[in-house]
Amino acid sequence: MTGTTPANGNGLPVPTSPGSVDEDVTHARHALSDLTLNSSPRNEKGKEKAKTTACRLVALPAELIAIILEYLVPLDLNHVAATCRALYRHATVDRLWQAHVQDNVPGQLVTSSHPCATFRDLYRAHDPRWFLPKYKIWFADEGFAGQLVVTRYSQQQGCIKGHVLVAYNTDHSLHVWEDHSQTIIAAFSPVVSLHVEIPAIQLSAHPNQDPYEDQAQSQQSREGRNFQPEIYMGVNTGGGLHRSFIHARHLSPEDASTRYRPHFPYGQIWPPPLLPAPHRVQGAGLERPMFLRPRDRANSRGEVYQRAFRIHKWFDNPSTHGADYNPLGSRRPAVYFTGNNMRELTQYNPPPGVLTRRVNIAEAISTYATLDPELYTPTPTKPFRGIWVGDYGPHGCEFIWIHQPDDDDDDMFDPESIARYADESDEAYAARKHDATIYRGRLEAIKLTGDSNVPRGEYSFIVDDLGGIGFLRVAHEPPFEGVRVVKSRGHLASQGFTMASDGGVRTDDYVPSQLFLISPDRLAQNWITMSRVTLFQRVDIDGLLVPE
C-alpha cells in the first residue's frame, strides 16, 4: 500500500470522446473539456475562486477518493460529478462506470463500450433497462403456454437482446418399464437453445425511430432528456410485425389485492401467485376488456419496476384496424384481437415471434416477469433448485422452476445430531448424514411455460417431504438402480384448466405419484395413474448468457 500522495496529485484521466456518436453529448463535452485537459482556472477571477473553494475531501489521495466512489450508485456519481471540477474528474472515471455496467451483465466480462465512446455513455444509453440482462430470465403471460425469454447483453452490438428459450426432445422412443410392465418410460434427450434468428427483445444503445411516434416527441426522447416509457424495437423480419418495449409500474399493495382473484387467472396479475416476487404488475391482453390504466405504466424513471416489462406487438396492416380500442393510448393505429378468451387463444400456439394473420391477433401486449436468481441457484443443501426442462408428451417440452423453499428449521438442523448405529461403518454413517442434509424439506415444480391442460404459473408436481415421511424406497430395478424414490403429487387437469371466471367447475386435481431423484440434474416423475414415467433435466441458464 502506498503512502500519502501530494494533496494536489489527483489529476486522474477523464475519458474524453471526440468520436461520440451522440451530438448532444459531444456538445456537452465540449463545454467540459477544459475540466479534463487543464484543471487550473483560466483567468484571475477563477484562480481566486478556486482558492476559496478548496475542499478537503478533494484533497484526499486520488486512490482514496476512487475507493469511496466505488460504493456509489450511478445516480450518486452524477450528483457528485456536478458538485465541483475536481470531483467531476473523479466521478467520471470510466472504470467506475464499467463496473456498473458489469454489475448488470452476468456471465461475461465486459470489456467493450461499443458503440459508445465510454462506459459512462453506454450506461446512460441503456438506463434504466440494465435490469434486463441482470435478471436473465423472463416468463410471459401469453396464453396458457406462456413463454420463457433469456435476456443477455451483446458487447459486439452494444445491444440488450432477449431470445425465446426453446427446447425439443430428440429421442421419442418409449420403453416398457421391465418390472412394471404396465408403465411406459418416455426417453428424453432435450436440446435447449435460444431462438436467435428473431429476437424477442432488441434494444440498441441508440433506438430506432418509431414510425408512429410524434416527430417532436421522438426528437425530445432522442436527446436523452426524457424518460421513454415505450421504446420502439422495429419491424420483425418479413412479417410486418412491429414491436415495442414498455416499462411497467408495479401495482400498489391495495391495487394488487383489489385486482387479485383467488382462482386462475388470478385477475391477470403477473407474475401469478406461485411465483415469488416483491411486487406484481397488471398482466394485459388475455381477456377483454383489459385496459392498461395510466397507473399500470411507468411514466417516469422512478416508476420503473425492474422485475417486469411488457412487449407490445402489432401488425402494420390497415385491414385489421378499425376498432376503437387503444390499450396504450398511443397515436398509432391500434386494435386488439377480437372475441378471444384464453381458451380460444391456446388453440394456436405460434412459434416464437411468428404470429400469423390466421389468428385474429392484430395487436397484443404480453407481460413478462422474472425470478430472483437466488431462488433457482442450487446450494449444497438445496441441490435441485433450478430451471428445468420437462417432457410433457403431446404438449412438447416445457420449462419449470424447481423450488426448494427454505425451511424454518433449516438453521436448527444439524446432521451431527444423527445418532450412529452400533455396527455402522464410517462411510455408511457419513453417507447417511449427507443424505439427511440433502433429502429434506419440500420440493415444488412450478411451470414457467405451460399448456392448455396445466398452464404456466401452476404446479406441475409437488413433493411434500424429500426425506422423512416422503421417502418411499431406493429403487433396485433398471433403469433406476440405486435411485431414491419419494412421494409426489402430480398436477393433472383437463383441457382448458379451470376458468373460474367462466363459472367453470374445478377440473384439476393432484394425483399420487412418485419422483425419482436420479441426480441434481435429472429427475423422473412417475405419473402412476397415467402409467407413464417422464423425465426432467436441468437447464444451464448461465451457459446461454454469452452471445457467440
Partner 1 sequence: MATNQSLKLQNTFRPNGRVFEVERSAAEHSAVVRMLLEDFDEPDLLVTIIPISIDTSDDTLAKVFEWATHHKNMPKPALDDDGDRDEVVTIQLASWDDEFFSDIDSETLYGILIATNYLDIKPLYDMAVQVVVNMVRGKSTKQIREILGITSDFTAEEEAAIRKETAWAYDGEEVPNETS
Chosen residue from 13, 19, 56, 394 binding partner 1 by CB under 8 A: 56
Q: Which of 40, 52, 170, 319 binds partner 1 (CB under 8 A)?
A: 52
SS3 229: coil
CB of 124 to partner 1, least distance (A): 5
- Per CB under 8 A, the segment of 77-85, 348-356, 386-394, 398-406 that binds partner 1 is 77-85
Binding span for partner 1 by CB under 8 A among 177-185, 223-231, 283-291, 464-472: 223-231
Interface residue with partner 1, options 15, 107, 227, 256 (CB under 8 A): 227
Pick one of 15, 16, 41, 112: the residue that binds partner 1 (CB under 8 A): 41
Q: Quick one: 91 or 541, whose CB is closer to partner 1?
A: 91
Least CB distance from residue 128 to partner 1, whole Å?
9
Closest distance of CB 5 from partner 1, Å: 9
- DSSP secondary structure letters along 238-301: TT-EEEEEEEB-PPPHHHHHHH--SSTTGGGEES-TTS--S--EE--SSSSS----GGGB--SG
E strand map for 404-521: 443-447, 459-463, 471-474, 484-492, 509-519
Please identify which residue in 9, 11, 46, 329 interacts with partner 1, judged by CB under 8 A: 46
Name the one range near partner 1 by CB under 8 A: 31-39, 285-293, 361-369, 445-453: 31-39
Dihedral over Cα of 352, 357, 358, 362: its sign: positive
- Residue 358 interacting with partner 1 (CB under 8 A): no
Q: Among candidates 131, 103, 411, which has minimal Cα distance to 278?
A: 131
Cell of residue 29, nine digits: 463535452
Neighbours of 56 (CB within 10 A): 7
Alpha carbon distance 77, 362 (integer Å): 44
Q: Would you tell me how many other CB atoms lie within 10 Å of the CB of residue 170?
A: 9
Our CB check for partner 1 shows the closer of 55 and 431 to be 55
- Shortest Cβ distance from residue 411 to partner 1 (Å)? 20
User: What's the min distance (Å) between Cβ of 203 and partner 1?
Assistant: 15
Length of the chain (residues): 548
d(CA 158, CA 278): 30
Q: 269-296 burial, b for 16+ CB within 10 Å, e for fewer?
A: bbbbeebebebbbbbbbbbeeeebeeeb
Q: Quick check: 55 binds partner 1 (CB under 8 A)?
A: yes
> Where does this chain touch partner 1 (CB under 8 A) — which range of 24-32, 192-200, 309-317, 353-361?
24-32
Q: Which of residues 85-124 bind partner 1 (CB under 8 A)?
A: 85, 87-88, 124
Q: Which residues contact 425 (CB under 8 A, 6 or more apart)?
A: none
Quick one: 388 exposed, middle or buried, by C-beta within 10 A (0-12, 13-18, 19+)?
buried
218 is a contact residue toward partner 1 (CB under 8 A)? no
Using CB under 8 A as the binding rule, whether residue 3 contacts partner 1 is answered as: yes
Residue 369 bridge partners (DSSP) = 139, 308
Task: Tell which one of 10, 14, 36, 74 touches partner 1 (CB under 8 A).
Answer: 74
Q: Using CB under 8 A, which of the segments 222-230, 284-292, 376-384, 490-498 binds partner 1?
A: 222-230
Decide if 81 contacts 58 (C-beta within 8 A). no
As a whole number of angstroms, the distance between CA 294 and CA 46 comes to 49
From the centroid of its chain, how far is CA 218? Answer: 28
Q: What is the C-alpha to C-alpha distance for residues 455 and 46, in angstroms, rounded to an integer? A: 68
| Closest distance of CB 41 from partner 1, Å | 7
Please say which residue, 30 or 506, places its beta carbon nearer to partner 1.
30
> CA 494 to CA 497: how far, in whole Å?
6
Q: By the 8 A CB rule, do 86 and 57 touch? A: no
Convert residues 168-207 into a mask of x (bound to partner 1 by CB under 8 A) and - (unbound): ----------------------------------------
- The grid coordinates listed for 437 are 442434509
Centroid of chain to Cα 49: 50
Residue 76 in the binding site for partner 1 (CB under 8 A): yes
- CA dist., res. 231 & res. 226, Å (int): 12
224 scored as a contact of partner 1 (CB under 8 A): yes
Among 23, 34, 344, 502, binds partner 1 (CB under 8 A): 34
Among 8, 11, 38, 49, binds partner 1 (CB under 8 A): 49
Q: Which stretch binds partner 1 (CB under 8 A): 43-51, 211-219, 370-378, 407-415?
A: 43-51
Mark the segment that binds partner 1 (CB under 8 A) among 45-53, 233-241, 381-389, 497-505: 45-53
User: What is the rounded distance in angstroms from the CA atom of residue 379 to the CA atom of residue 336?
Assistant: 45
Report the Cα–Cα distance between both ends of the chain, in Å, rounded.
Answer: 40
Q: Tell me which residue of 41, 35, 1 sits closest to 16, measured CA to CA.
A: 35
User: CB-wise, 143 or 207, nearer to partner 1?
Assistant: 207
Given candidates 84, 187, 323, 500, which one binds partner 1 under the rule CB under 8 A? 84
Of residues 1 and 419, the one with the C-beta less far from partner 1: 1
Facing residues of 8 across strands?
none
Decide: is 28 part of the binding site for partner 1 (CB under 8 A).
yes
* From 302, 318, 380, 394, residue interacting with partner 1 (rule: CB under 8 A): 302
Least CB distance from residue 467 to partner 1, whole Å?
A: 35
| CA angle in degrees (0–180, nearest 5) for 109-113-115 | 135
Q: Does 29 bind partner 1 (CB under 8 A)?
A: yes
Does 354 bind partner 1 (CB under 8 A)? Our answer is no
Residues in touch with partner 1 (CB under 8 A): 1, 3-4, 7, 24-25, 27-32, 34-35, 41, 46, 49-50, 52-53, 55-61, 63-64, 67-68, 70-76, 78-85, 87-88, 124, 127, 224-227, 300-302
